[in-house]
């Protein structure tokens, strides 16, 4: 028999690791409305499935009093388990241990976990709650971040990477989440910024709170940095579990199928979408007529609201919806909407998720602000993303499809596999008023009364889907009542689609 002291020493080490920063700091964490690092993992993983690795790792640094601060685990819990029965890796920073700061050992644990996730071909969830680089460890901390960023980049497009911000995430620490596929934040308790309020006050004289500078609401509505915002840690982690159910394990597998809950409300579309192109409607209602019941998961809902993106299921299979939103800015494309759509399109293409594109777009938004803000460069991202994507791509032109914006929204010659249009669709270089004012400007100047007649003639001849259908730019003009059936049928037909691109290291997307 082994000596009892062997097990006593092991148990003491385990207890020290489980204690984290101790009862006082755990209570302070709870008082701030935050769960502990271990409590978060208990919510994320299926009960009893989490296996910790590196639980006894400690810092080897003794400078600046670090020899008195060492705790087994070094402020981050790493391991793997099951989420909805599927393998997932996760790290969870422990703010009760040296403020969750990242030192050499802390970073090595995360890097090792990233390597394991990539080797296993499984998603990784990185829970951030950290005071940033550990000053006592100097360049060792900064080097640690470098290793994490490198692995984020290598894993990009190979396995899903989800960052969950559940406390401070400042300075260089922000860039690991920024490289991830999704960022989750919690209202009132999480924030991200490169330069904090105190430094801003010193350098620029600006006075601002952490929440005003980089809180969840700021990043969900103004910067577009985050994708989902929740009211509490628990709801946030349940949201992560839900999202994982739409994603494949890696880029060589398919997203998991769910029980089909088809609800065909296509008969409602004539009531949802007004025939008058000047009247607005909520495109989310259109999506809900096609998606399986309750399955639409909108992404970045509060940012660039003239575009709607999200994951849903059709007949139990994951699809990505990309849509113009006529209820906001008339559905026109600006630089933020272009970025929002482009990155989502590339996400879906990375992980083999088919795209359904709903088009009702009058133009790229005109104006000095847009031009000086780089609408050319940002709009090119959207064109690039659609052209590059090799997953099944099905477009539905609902009403307006004008000019360059029509081209950018997955038009036929941009690589759409199938393009459907409703009978009220208008495919043209521009609307009737603008076209007539240019083409017949002399006639109108001589006889202004003729303008109305010319507008009507132009509308009758050109603002309908049939010239485009005659030339093959639209594959079929369909009755709105057949919309779900036709799109679902197209996706089923395209399941076996295989498309290769010319060999290249990678393209040069206009960033």
Write out the catalytic residue numbers. 171-172, 404-405
CA 164 to chain centre: 13
Retrieve residue 271's tokens: 């009531």
Q: What are the distances in angstroms from CA 44 to CA 99, 247, 264, 416?
A: 22, 16, 33, 38
Three-state DSSP class for 11? helix
DSSP letters, 48-79, are T--EEESTT------GGGGGGT--TTTTEEEE
* Residues forming beta bridges with residue 312, ordered by sequence position: 319
Contact (CB, 8 A) for 167 and 29 = no
DSSP letters, 250-282, are STTSPPPP--------GGGHHHHS-SSTTS---
User: What is the number of H-type helices and E-type strands within the chain?
Assistant: 21, 17
Contact (CB, 8 A) for 318 and 255 = yes
**Which alpha helices (DSSP H) does 351-449 contain, by range?**
368-372, 375-388, 403-408, 432-439, 441-446
Retrieve residue 149's tokens: 């960023």
Retrieve residue 479's tokens: 């009755």
Q: What is the phi/psi pair of residue 353, to 5°?
A: -100, 120
92 membership: H or E segment, kind and range: strand 86-93
Residue with tokens 């369909």: 478
CB atoms within 10 A of CB 284: 18
Torsion-angle region of residue 190: left (phi > 0), alpha (psi -120 to 50) or beta? Answer: beta
- Report helix angle 375-388 to 335-350, nearest 10: 20
Q: What is the DSSP letter of 300?
A: S
Distance of alpha carbon 344 from alpha carbon 226, whole angstroms: 13
Retrieve residue 33's tokens: 């409305």
CA 166 to chain centre: 18
């Amino acid at each position: 028999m082994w000596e009892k002291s062997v097990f006593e020493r092991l148990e003491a080490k385990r207890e020290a690791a489980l204690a984290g920063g101790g009862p006082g700091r755990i209570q302070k964490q709870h008082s701030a409305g935050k769960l502990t690092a271990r409590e978060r993992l208990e919510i994320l993983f299926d009960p009893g499935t989490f296996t910790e690795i590196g639980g006894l790792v400690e810092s080897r640094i003794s400078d600046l009093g670090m020899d008195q601060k060492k705790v087994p685990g070094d402020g981050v819990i790493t391991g793997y388990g099951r989420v909805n029965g599927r393998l997932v890796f996760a790290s969870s920073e422990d703010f009760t241990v040296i403020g969750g700061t990242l030192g050499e050992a802390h970073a090595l644990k995360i890097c090792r976990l990233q390597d394991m996730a990539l080797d296993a071909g499984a998603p990784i969830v990185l829970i951030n709650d950290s005071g940033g680089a550990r000053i006592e460890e100097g360049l060792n901390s900064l080097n640690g971040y470098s290793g994490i960023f490198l692995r984020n980049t290598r894993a990009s497009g190979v396995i899903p990477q989800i960052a969950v911000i559940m406390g401070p995430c400042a300075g260089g620490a922000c860039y690991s989440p920024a490289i991830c596929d999704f960022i989750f934040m919690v209202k009132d308790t999480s924030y991200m910024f490169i330069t904090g309020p105190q430094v801003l006050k010193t350098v620029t004289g600006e006075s601002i709170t952490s929440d005003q500078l980089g809180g969840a609401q700021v990043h969900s509505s103004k910067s577009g940095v985050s994708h989902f915002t929740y009211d509490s840690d628990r709801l946030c982690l349940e949201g992560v579990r839900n999202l994982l159910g739409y994603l494949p394990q890696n880029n060589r597998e398919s997203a998991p199928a769910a029980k089909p809950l088809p609800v065909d409300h296509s008969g409602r579309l004539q009531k949802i979408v007004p025939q008058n192109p000047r009247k607005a409607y909520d495109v989310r209602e259109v999506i809900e007529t096609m998606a399986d019941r309750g399955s639409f998961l909108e992404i970045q809902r509060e940012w660039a609201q003239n575009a709607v993106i999200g994951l849903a299921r059709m007949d139990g299979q994951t699809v990505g919806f990309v849509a113009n939103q006529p209820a906001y800015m008339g559905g026109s494309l600006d630089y933020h909407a272009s970025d929002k759509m482009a990155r989502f399109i590339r996400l879906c293409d990375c992980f083999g998720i088919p795209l359904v594109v709903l088009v009702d777009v009058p133009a790229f938004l005109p104006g000095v602000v847009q031009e000086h803000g780089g609408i050319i460069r940002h709009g090119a991202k959207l064109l690039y993303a659609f052209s590059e994507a090799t997953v099944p791509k099905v477009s539905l032109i609902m009403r307006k499809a004008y000019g360059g914006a029509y081209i950018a929204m997955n038009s036929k010659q941009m690589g759409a596999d199938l393009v459907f249009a409703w009978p009220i669709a208008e495919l043209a270089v521009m609307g009737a008023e603008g076209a007539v004012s240019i083409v017949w400007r002399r006639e109108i100047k001589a006889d202004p009364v003729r303008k109305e007649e010319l507008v009507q003639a132009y509308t009758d001849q050109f603002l309908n889907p049939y010239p485009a259908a005659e030339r093959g730019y639209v594959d079929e003009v369909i009755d709105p009542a057949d919309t779900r059936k036709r799109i679902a049928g197209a996706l089923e037909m395209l399941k076996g689609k295989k498309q290769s691109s010319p060999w290249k290291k990678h393209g040069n997307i206009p960033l």
